[in-house]
C-alpha cells in the first residue's frame, strides 16, 4: 500500500512551532494514472479542461501530450495522445483556456526557435502553429484568454558556442486561434544596462553573454495586463506589458541570509543526521514556478525557490566549499578550517561566480543555489514573506528517516542536503471557502506543502502530503538489473507540474489538485478535503 503522510496523521506536536497548521484541510488522493516510465519525464506539466473534463499531461518520454479522462477522477484513464514529434524535439508545456489547447514545443535543435501548436480541445484538431523563441519552456493564457504567453528560455548548447537570446512570445487570439498573430517581448533594450543591472543585484554571468542571452525566462504568471516572468539563473523577475509586448522592468530578488534565526539549513550529506542550523551562507532564491493572487486590491507574487546553476562542458559554476579552489577569506571566515569539514560546509554546493567582493581571489561570502523555501513578493519585487527553514524542518519531523532524499534512489536520506535540500519547484494557488492556498511541490523529497496565504503578511502552514513510500525500490528492474519501469508501489516521485481546479469546474463539486510527477511518470488527482 502506498504511504500517505500528513501532519494530521503524525500529530501537530510533530511540527516546529513556527509552522503549526491550524486549518483542518488536507489533500485526499482520488486516483493515479501510471505511465510506467521511470525518470524520463513521462508526467511533467498538467492542465485541466473543465468543459471536456480532460487532463492534458506533457509526456516528454513519448514526445506526446497524454489525454486523460478526468470526468471520474477516482478512475483515471488515458483516452488519447497528441503526437508532438512531427513539430520538433519535445513538448515542454501545455495550457488550456476556453476551447483552445496550447502546447509549447522545442525544436529538435534546442537552440533554434520553437513553436506553439494550437488545438481544439473537444476533438484535438490542430488549428494552427505559431513560431516562438528558442526553447519555449512554459506556456500560459492570461486571465482574459485573449493572449497566450510563452517563456522562451534560450539555453546555450553544451560548449556555450551557441547562446540564443531569451524572450517572451505573446500570441494574440483576438481573431481566433486560426488567425493568431505573435509578437516577441525581448530583452535587447537592456543589453547596454548590464552594469546597472548587476549593481542592482541581477545575476548576469554567462560567458560573453548579452543581457538578452543571459536572462533565460523560466515561468510566467499574469495579472492586470502584466506578465511576471521568473529569470531563474538571473535571480530576478521580469515585468512585461502584455498589450505592448514590451519588457518594462527587471526586478532583482536579493539573497537569503541563512545565518538569521528561522533561516537555517542542513548543508551536509556526509553527517548521517538531520542538522538544520544557521550557517554563514546566502541563498540565491532563483525561483522556478511563479503564481500570483490579489489581497486587498494589490497583486502579490508567489515563487517556488528551487535554485539553478549553469553547469556546461566549458562553463560550470558549481563548486563545493571544501574544494581546494575555494579559499575562504580569513577575516570573513576566521574558522575557515572548521567550516571546510564535510560535516560542516565542506560538502555544500556554492557558486564560484559570487563571493569575492574585494577582488583579491578569495571568498568573502558564500552563495548557495536555491532558497529551500517559497516566498511572497509585492508586485515591485519586495519580499513580504519567506517560509524560511519550514520545508526542511517539517520534513525532518514527519520523515526523519527520509529527510532530504533523492527522488531517483532508495534509500537516499540526507543525500540532497548539500544541494538545494527538498528542492521546491512546482506551485499552484487556489481559493476555497474564502481563503487562498499555496500548494508547493518538493521535487526531491516529493510531496506537496500546503499554506494558507490569504493574508501575505500572516501566512500559516496547513499540511504536508506525501504519497511516496520510502521503504520500497523506486523502480522495477529487468534481468540485467537495470531499471525497466517505475514501481507503482513507491508512489509519486518528483512533482513537477501542479494545477488547481476550483470547485465549480470540478466533477466532484470540490476543489481538486492535479500533480504531474516527473520521475515516477505518474499523474495524481487529489481532492481538497477536511481532516
Q: Which strands make up the sheet holding 298-305, listed edge to edge?
A: 290-295, 298-305, 373-378, 383-386
Q: Are strands 475-477 and 483-486 parallel, antiparallel or unpaired?
A: antiparallel
16 pLDDT higher than 90:
no
* Residues 418-440: tens digit of each pLDDT: 999 999 999 999 999 999 999 99
**Contacts for 463 with CB less than 8 Å, ≥ 6 apart:** 6, 7, 8, 21, 23, 25, 26, 27, 449, 450, 531
Q: Which residue has cell 500529530?
A: 11
At 88, the pLDDT band (50, 70, 90 cuts) reads confident
Burial of 148 (0-12, 13-18, 19+ CB in 10 A): buried
Tell me which DSSP letter residue 257 carries: E
- Bond prior to 90 in cis (omega within 30° of 0): no
- Helix (H, G, I), strand (E, B), or coil: what is residue 329? coil
As a whole number of angstroms, the distance between CA 61 and CA 521 comes to 9
At 8, the pLDDT band (50, 70, 90 cuts) reads very low
Tell me which DSSP letter residue 5 carries: B
Nine cell digits for residue 371: 532558497
Nine cell digits for residue 437: 492556498
1 pLDDT higher than 60:
no
Q: What is the pLDDT of residue 23?
A: 61
CB 318 within 8 A of CB 206: no
Average pLDDT over residues 37-56: 97
* Residues 290-346: tens digit of each pLDDT: 999 999 999 999 999 999 999 999 999 999 999 999 999 999 999 999 999 999 999
Enumerate domains of the chain plus CATH numbers: 7-308+370-530 (2.130.10.10), 315-369 (no CATH)
**Distances 421 to 11, 203, 223, 398 between C-alpha atoms, Å:** 24, 22, 31, 15
Q: What is the pLDDT of residue 272?
A: 86
At 5, the pLDDT band (50, 70, 90 cuts) reads low
At 524, the pLDDT band (50, 70, 90 cuts) reads very high
385, 388, 394, 395: CA torsion to nearest 10: 120
250 pLDDT higher than 60:
yes
Which is more confident, 452 or 63? 452
As a whole number of angstroms, the distance between CA 145 and CA 241 comes to 16
Give the phi and the psi of residue 513 in degrees, each rounded to 5: -125, 125
As a whole number of angstroms, the distance between CA 209 and CA 155 comes to 11
Amino acid at each position: 500500500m502506498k504511504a500517505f503522510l500528513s501532519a494530521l496523521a503524525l500529530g501537530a506536536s510533530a511540527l516546529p512551532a513556527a509552522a503549526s497548521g491550524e486549518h483542518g484541510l488536507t489533500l485526499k488522493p482520488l486516483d493515479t494514472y501510471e505511465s510506467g516510465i521511470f525518470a524520463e519525464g513521462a508526467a511533467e506539466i498538467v492542465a485541466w479542461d473543465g468543459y471536456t473534463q480532460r487532463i492534458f499531461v506533457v509526456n516528454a518520454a513519448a514526445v506526446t501530450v497524454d489525454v486523460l479522462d478526468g470526468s471520474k477522477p477516482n478512475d483515471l484513464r488515458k483516452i488519447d495522445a497528441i503526437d508532438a514529434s512531427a513539430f520538433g524535439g519535445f513538448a515542454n508545456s501545455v495550457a488550456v483556456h476556453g476551447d483552445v489547447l496550447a502546447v509549447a514545443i522545442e525544436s529538435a535543435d534546442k537552440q533554434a526557435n520553437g513553436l506553439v501548436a494550437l488545438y481544439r480541445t473537444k476533438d484535438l484538431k490542430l488549428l494552427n502553429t505559431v513560431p516562438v523563441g528558442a526553447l519555449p519552456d512554459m506556456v500560459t493564457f492570461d486571465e482574459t484568454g485573449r493572449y497566450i504567453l510563452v517563456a522562451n528560455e534560450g539555453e546555450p548548447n553544451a560548449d556555450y558556442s551557441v547562446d540564443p537570446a531569451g524572450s517572451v512570445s505573446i500570441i494574440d487570439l483576438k481573431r481566433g486561434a486560426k488567425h493568431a498573430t505573435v509578437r516577441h517581448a525581448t530583452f535587447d533594450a537592456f543589453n547596454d544596462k548590464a552594469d546597472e543591472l548587476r549593481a542592482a543585484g541581477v545575476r548576469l554571468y554567462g560567458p560573453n553573454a548579452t543581457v538578452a542571452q543571459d536572462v533565460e525566462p523560466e515561468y510566467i504568471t499574469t495579472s492586470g495586463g502584466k506578465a511576471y516572468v521568473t529569470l531563474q539563473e538571473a535571480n530576478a523577475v521580469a515585468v512585461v506589458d502584455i498589450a505592448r509586448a514590451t519588457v518594462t522592468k527587471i526586478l532583482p530578488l536579493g539573497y537569503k541570509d541563512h545565518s538569521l534565526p528561522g533561516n537555517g539549513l542542513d548543508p551536509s550529506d556526509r553527517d548521517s543526521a538531520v542538522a538544520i542550523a544557521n550557517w554563514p551562507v546566502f541563498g540565491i532564491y532563483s525561483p522556478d514556478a511563479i503564481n500570483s493572487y490579489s489581497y486587498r486590491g494589490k497583486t502579490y507574487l508567489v515563487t517556488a525557490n528551487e535554485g539553478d546553476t549553469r553547469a556546461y562542458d566549458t562553463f560550470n559554476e558549481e563548486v563545493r566549499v571544501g574544494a581546494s579552489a575555494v579559499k575562504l577569506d580569513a577575516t570573513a571566515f576566521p574558522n575557515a578550517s572548521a567550516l571546510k569539514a564535510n560535516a560542516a560546509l565542506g560538502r555544500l554546493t556554492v557558486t564560484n561566480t559570487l563571493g569575492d567582493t574585494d577582488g583579491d581571489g578569495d571568498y568573502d561570502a558564500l552563495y548557495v543555489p536555491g532558497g529551500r523555501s517559497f516566498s511572497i513578493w509585492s508586485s515591485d519585487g519586495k519580499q513580504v514573506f519567506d517560509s524560511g527553514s519550514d520545508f526542511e524542518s517539517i520534513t525532518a519531523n514527519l520523515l526523519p528517516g527520509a529527510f532530504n532524499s533523492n527522488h531517483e534512489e532508495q534509500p537516499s536520506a540526507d543525500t540532497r542536503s548539500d544541494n538545494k535540500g527538498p528542492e521546491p519547484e512546482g506551485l499552484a494557488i487556489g481559493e476555497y471557502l474564502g481563503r487562498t492556498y499555496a500548494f508547493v511541490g518538493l521535487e526531491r523529497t516529493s510531496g506537496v506543502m500546503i499554506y494558507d496565504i490569504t493574508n501575505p503578511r500572516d501566512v500559516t502552514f496547513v499540511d504536508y502530503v506525501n504519497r511516496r513510500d520510502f521503504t520500497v525500490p523506486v523502480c522495477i528492474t529487468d534481468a540485467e538489473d537495470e531499471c525497466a519501469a517505475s514501481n507503482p508501489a513507491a508512489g509519486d516521485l518528483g512533482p513537477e507540474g501542479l494545477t488547481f481546479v476550483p470547485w465549480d469546474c470540478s466533477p466532484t463539486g470540490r476543489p481538486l489538485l492535479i500533480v504531474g510527477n516527473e520521475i515516477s511518470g505518474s499523474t495524481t488527482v487529489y481532492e481538497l478535503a477536511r481532516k
